[in-house]
Every structure is written in C-alpha cells, then in structure tokens.
Copies of this chain bind each other. A is one copy, B any other.
Amino acid sequence: MSHSIKQACKQAKNAAFRLAQMESERKNQLLLALAERLNKNKARIAEANQKDLDEASTLLAQGELSQPLVKRLNLQGEKIDQLGNYLAEVAKLPDPVGIRQYAMRLDTGLDLERVSCPLGVLAVIFESRPEVVIQVSALSLKSSNAVLLKGGREAAHSNRVLWELINEVLTQWDLAGAVALMESREDVQALLNQEEFVDLIIPRGSNAFVRYIQDNTRIPVLGHAEGLCHMYLAGSADLNQALDLVFDAKTDYPSACNALETLLVEEKLAPQILPQLFTRLQNAGVELRVEANLLAYGTNLKTATEKDWATEYTDLILSIKQVAGLDEAIAHINRYGSGHTDSILTEDKKEAETFLNQVDSACVFHNTSTRFSDGFVFGLGAEVGISTNKTHARGPVGLEGLVIYKYKLRGSGQKISAYGGAKGKSYLHQPLPLQP
C-alpha cells in the first residue's frame, strides 16, 4: 500500500465506526454485493492468479518453493466460484453484534444492558492460500470490524486483485479502508506498534512466526503457536478402536494443527497393542520415535529424546511414551502439551471424565480423533482460527471471538449520592429479559 500503515489504521478505525452502526440486513447485502463483484470478475481473478502460479512454478523449479505450497496457491475454475458461495454462506450466519447478554433493572427508570459489539480493527496475517483474503474479509465485515490483511508474498497478484474488488465495493458503500491490504514485511513490523488503532492480531503461520508476533506487540494476539496434540491409550481402551483412531489422528492430514504428535500408552496395554500399531503406522510411512523401553515392540524404531516430547512435527512422525497410568498421562500432557487438543481412549467413563477435567487444553476428547477440533465441525458456522489463549476465546473460534461487549445504562436523572448508606436508596437488581 502506498500510504503509511498508521494512515491505513486510522482509516480502518474510521470505517469501523461506520461498520458498527450497520444493521444486520445491510451488512448481509454488502457481503452479497461482494459476491456479485467477484462473480463478475472471474477472468480478472484467474489472470492474476495465473501470474502467481507462473512465478511459483519458476521458484518450484529452482527449489525455492515446495509443491504443497504451490498447490495451495491455485485459485482457478471452481475455486473462484466458491468465493462467492462463501460470502453468501457468511451472510446467512447470525449476526454476532447487538446480542443482549445481560440485562438488569437497577432501579425504576435505570435499566442496564450488556450488548455485544465489534472489537474495532483486526489484523490478520496468513500464508499462501489467496481465498483467505475473502474469508477473512467476510468474517470481519459480518462482525462489523475493519481489518488489515497481509497474505503470503507468493500470492501477491491474487491477493491484490481480490482486495481491489473488495475495495471497489467498499468505496461505493462509503466504507473505503474497512479492508486494507498490507504488502510487505515492513508493513507488518509497523503494524505491531499500532496499539492505538488495532484491537486484535490473528497470525496464522509457522510456530516461529506466531511466537514472534506474540513477543513483539502489546496488541492482544489470538491464535496458537503450536498444536502439540496427544492421545492417551488407557489400559481399558477398545483395541481395534484405538488402532483406528491413532491411525486417523496421525495420518489423515499430518500437517494440520490438530494432528496427533505424541501417543501415551498405559504400561499394561503396551505389549498387546504396540506391535500391531507400529506395523500399521510404518506401513503408512510414519516414522516412529519411541521411549527406549518400547524399542522391543517393533523394528526400525528411533529412540525418542526429551526434545521429542516438546516437538510438533506436522509431518508423518509420531513420538510414543509409556506411562504408569492416568495421572502420569495427565501430568505429561499438561507439561509438554500446547493446550490445543488432547484425547483419551478408554472404556472407563470415570477415567475419561477425570482426563476431560484435568487436562488443561482448549479441546479435550474421549474416544475420538484429535482431528475433530475445528470450527466448522463444531458447528460454529465459520472459523476465525484456533486459539490456545486462556483469555477471551479458546479452541476453535467462531464469529463470537471477533466481538466484545459494552454496558449501556439508560437513566432518568439518577445520582449515585442518592444510593447506599443508612438513609440512601437501595438497588432493585431485577433481571430483565434478554430477548427484548
């Protein structure tokens, strides 16, 4: 962007005030207008994306980009149609703004309500897939937030054309600047100091990148640096189910943040299950790093080191440790885990409940794959990201993670000095209905 980041932040803040005043119906019309603009400009999008693809294939040939990354860049044909569909889907979701969460009559003619409202200005930094420009814009506008976006360099042409199309519509709607595009690392660096204007940063990318953002800004950061997910196979687990679920959690999509990284096995179950499990995982190309005392249960096993317990592989690698029982499993997870998603496999319901209560993670599962932790799967309608924070929003975050609330008090001349004390008035504190 040509003007400075501070200028873009100011403009975003101004646009955010206008967004905050928009009725739900009007915001949905805006999303549909965006969809229409995209649908009418498919050729322009395809052309820009082709430039990115061409540049990427050169870099691929030079070994500077990986094949999966190039694949994620692709925004052609049906994938362009999906952009408009996504906007239409978000338009159908309930508005997270303006929900009355608390209402109390403090006294006659003195009514308090707490109402959800937008955060203000978001900043979302992501990699690779250009459709995220549309997804993040849709979620931000739906929740009446302005947003500063920064996509991956390799998708620069695609990101720019998508942003231009959005901006053309926003300008017509007197909302210029409500979605801003950042195009350089220097922009991101400058953004980190804009705590006066930016209310929340959502970084998506490598662990190191997310940690860098967390360490270098006073702005609240929503997200997760790591997804170091565990499964605990308890002695009473159903063996066939366990074989399937470990396999699913590790191999279905190993680069996902909710994929399995460390398996804990109760000591007494180890001889029964590990030989079969090791063979099955190795047949699927999984490298196994096991505690020294488990080496006897297979061949071609590597010995796990302390570092393995703290590593998110995001690859076809699994570390495996034997534990004496539930307490040791919970302690291991709370020590080495990242608070993302952890699952217990057991037929003992009481043991399962102890695990669900004591493992201090955003998502705790019983007899199911860690891979289910996802906003769409959870029925949240849309996913802003997955958070391992312990404040504001935790786990898969839907639109409600993009709002906060304010208290509105409507009085009729009440003074505080009239209340309390021996002779003062007292409060009614009479709850009012949440559906006005």
Contact = CB atoms under 8 A, between A and B. Distances in A.
Interface residues of A, number: 72
A391 B110 CA distance: 27
Contact of A245 (B21, B120, B405, B413): B413
A128 to B, nearest CB: 21
A412 B367 contact: yes
A413 B241 contact: yes
Interface in A340-391: 352, 356-358, 360-369, 371-373, 377-379, 389-391
A7 interface: no
A134 interface: no
Given A106-B372, A413-B367, A414-B369, A394 B404 contact: yes
Contact of A373 (B200, B218, B407): B407
B416 A372 contact: yes
How many copies of this protein are present in the complex? 2
A163 interface: no
A205 interface: no
B366 A410 contact: yes
Given A368-B413, A407-B396, A410-B366, A391 B220 contact: yes
A390 B405 CA distance: 8
Interface of A: 17, 20-21, 104, 106, 110, 112, 114, 119-120, 199-200, 214-215, 218, 220, 222, 238, 241, 244-245, 248-249, 252-253, 334, 352, 356-358, 360-369, 371-373, 377-379, 389-396, 404-417, 419, 427, 429, 431
